[in-house]
Structure 1
């Protein structure tokens, strides 16, 4: 077994172990139209984006220079998130804590629509299960990325599912951690909206 495969297995087992932890992550509103770049890229690649499709030629922070594919198979360019605060919700379809966060996340996406980008980043399972989760939990009002290989999770230093990352409009991390049932997410978002 190669070193790469062992590393991937270690990462997966580490992420699986995190579902039962209610504490903060160690790694210390949605705009459905944000999922419309030029050509699809597999989410496992998380290639740097050229930034060409950014709204109003906004300066794109390095953290948002990635491309992926949504759970619906549409291309997604992270550069389109530039110039507004961003909520990234890292979840897994089988995680009960993630299911418990769905309502609060959807509420924030609706309340802050047009002011904040909310994006789900699904991992640790297959795309079909991710799509089912979005339908069952009724969180289709904002884009969800299918990150089967964990490239975006790795990019943001995520080590367990049910983790939120809140970025301000300049791409600076304002919050990273787990919020039981999504409680407090709206407060974190209000801080970056101003």
Structure 2
């Protein structure tokens, strides 16, 4: 025991360590999925970033219904760097990726107006749409469909089990991320990379 270390500080440190191992393990598995889906391409940058933050984002959203900007926003320049580099190598503009990222962002922004989604969901959706859009239209559509399918099933289960009543809020970030990873795993069968 370190001198001057309180029991609370030791407990917090133990909690952080206990979360780090599963987060790191999941990130490694997701990184392998990304590599298999995208291949050794600059497009891998965005998906590897998402792999690194998936565990913490899911945990934080489930615990506090928040998707922190400090985890989501840095993904944009990382993903865009990979997308632009890939476009330069391919000799074609990154129109599809940018259009799909913007479409996901705007779609979730519209949903947020009625209170159905938070701004964290909006920002995360834009990033995930950008990354999936860089791979192709089909993976992007699949990611969105799977996210809403999983979220819808969870919503029905909450209503059926009467957990929290009809006003219960369900964090949508984990479903967005699940949709992203399912679509990415299926990407080799759905599409080829688009500039």
Q: Same fold (TM over 0.5)?
A: no
Q: Which has the higher contact order (CA 8 A, sep 6+)?
A: 1
Q: Which has the higher strand share?
A: 1
Higher helix share: 2
Q: Point out the structure with max Rg over C-alpha.
A: 2
TM range (shorter): under 0.3
- Using the size of structure 2 for normalisation, the TM-score is 0.26
**Structure-1-length-normalised TM-score:** 0.26
